[in-house]
Amino acid sequence: MAGTPLPYVLNRAAAALSLAVLVTGLWLLADGLHALPRTDGWMVLGAVMVGASLFGRAPILAMFPKAAPQADTPEGRSDAVVGAGGAHLHVERYGPADGWPIVLVQGFETDRTVWSPTVSALAEQWQVLVWDQPGLGRSERPYDEIYGLDRAAADLAAVLKLLEGRPALLVGWSTGAAAVLAYCRDHPQALGAEVAGVALLNPTTAPPASGAMVRADMMLAPVIQVMNWAGYLNGALHLAARTTALGQAPSREAADAAARQTAETSPWVQAKGALALRDADLTGILARLTTPTLAVAGGYDVVARPAEVRALAKALPDGEFVLLEEVGHAGPLERSDLYAKTLGAFADKVFGRLEQLARPRHADVLRRPSALYEFRPEPRNFDDGFEPVPVKDEDERPFEGYGPTAGRA
């Protein structure tokens, strides 16, 4: 799916302007201190610029409506796995330990906290796993500093080992959808086994900008990190997120979360993730993705446009398309209730199908899903002293049954 550099360019422009305003204000103050009293006006201007740079976030956020109260994120269980590059990856589990598992995979620009509002709703019924990709959140950077879709697929495989073979619903958002598709491409034997279904939320498989722009980010990563924090403190990143990532009526909590994700993410890691998508070709896996697959688009999404997501859904053998009219690309931050409701309905469909298949074989699956993976049919071996013998039931009607032959006359 083609990407657009608009969000990337606006974020960088907002951050650069923010840093320029802060530096100019500091320079005016410093210059005025050495030239008093002739430069009182310039000192006042410098003070205003510095004040706006450090405290402009509050009035900007006041422009957004406050979100309705949401349930607190339940207490999670922390875990760690070793990724393909040797780094320790931070994993958190929520919800019932024996529930059907849902694994959430975010894009290369955010950490696991982007799912926090959605986890609160899903964890009431499902076992939910969230994790940080290498170099983001609480996960280490790979020791060899190599990033790529094959690495992302291998890291996801390491996380899935925590489920010990239990089928899971894989959910990928933004470029996290590319990681999920890469895993399905590299592990076709998992489809229908470890992978019960796939959900692609606002999916994009293209880099956010050109190779030259991304490489510039890598070289100037420390400067860009300072720029991003300047843009967060003065509210410029919030306005950029309102234009490029959010939808019809975002809340101040959603705007602040989207801006903070941009500020906290390492530009170097983000650039490496973008380069990993540069030569990605995941179109071949779509026709082979035979598990139930959900593709979700946002009506205001300028990154993964609804028409492109609809075309992706049509290319899937068992695809389903859902359009959420009022959300943008950062839908899980903006309307977590809609995403949780959509994912919950799809999970009911996916795992309900497994329960239907399991019902004739093992009734305990309906009460305890993990029983499905503990059931193994016992082979019948007639070489161990057992063979068919006539047996009578309570009505004295003979039929062929199984009984021991040892000791018979």
Domain boundary assignment for the chain? 77-358
Q: Which residue has the tokens 């840093």?
A: 19
> Which superfamily does CATH assign the domain made up of 77-358 to?
Alpha/Beta hydrolase fold, catalytic domain (3.40.50.1820)
Could you give phi then psi for residue 348, rounded to 5 degrees? -60, -40
Percent with pLDDT over 70 in the chain: 82
pLDDT (0 to 100) of residue 2: 52
Sheet holding 319-324, edge to edge: 77-82, 88-94, 127-131, 101-105, 168-173, 195-201, 293-298, 319-324
**Which uninterrupted H or E stretch holds 310?**
helix 306-314
Q: What is the pLDDT of residues 6-17, one digit of tens each?
A: 777 888 889 899
pLDDT (0 to 100) of residue 404: 44
pLDDT (0 to 100) of residue 392: 46
Helix/strand/coil percentages in the chain, nearest 5: 45, 15, 35
pLDDT (0 to 100) of residue 36: 54
Q: What is the pTM of this model?
A: 0.82
pLDDT (0 to 100) of residue 39: 66
DSSP label at residue 365: G
Residue 134: partners with Cβ closer than 8 Å, 6 or more residues away: 83, 85, 87, 89, 140, 141, 142, 147, 151, 155, 269
**Which uninterrupted H or E stretch holds 271?**
helix 267-276
pLDDT above 60 (res 385): no
DSSP label at residue 191: B
Give 38's pLDDT tier (boundaries 50, 70, 90).
low
Omega cis (within 30) before 203: no
Q: Is 88 left (phi over 0), alpha (psi -120 to 50) or beta?
A: beta
pLDDT (0 to 100) of residue 399: 42
Q: How many residues does the chain have?
A: 409
Task: Tell me the C-alpha distance between 222 and 226, whole Å.
Answer: 7
pLDDT (0 to 100) of residue 10: 84
Give 408's pLDDT tier (boundaries 50, 70, 90).
very low
Q: Which residue has the tokens 């074989």?
A: 361
- Closest-CA residue to 262 (of 3, 44, 10): 10
pLDDT (0 to 100) of residue 327: 93
Residue 80, strand partner residues:
90
Give 312's pLDDT tier (boundaries 50, 70, 90).
very high
What is the dihedral angle through the alpha carbons of 270, 276, 277, 280, rounded to the nearest 10 degrees? Answer: -170
pLDDT (0 to 100) of residue 203: 92
Query: Lowest-pLDDT range, 68-72, 108-112, 214-218?
Result: 68-72
Q: What is the pLDDT of residues 162-213, one digit of tens each?
A: 998 899 999 999 989 999 999 999 999 999 889 999 999 999 877 666 777 8
pLDDT above 50 (res 334): yes
What is the mean pLDDT of the segment spanning 152-165? 93
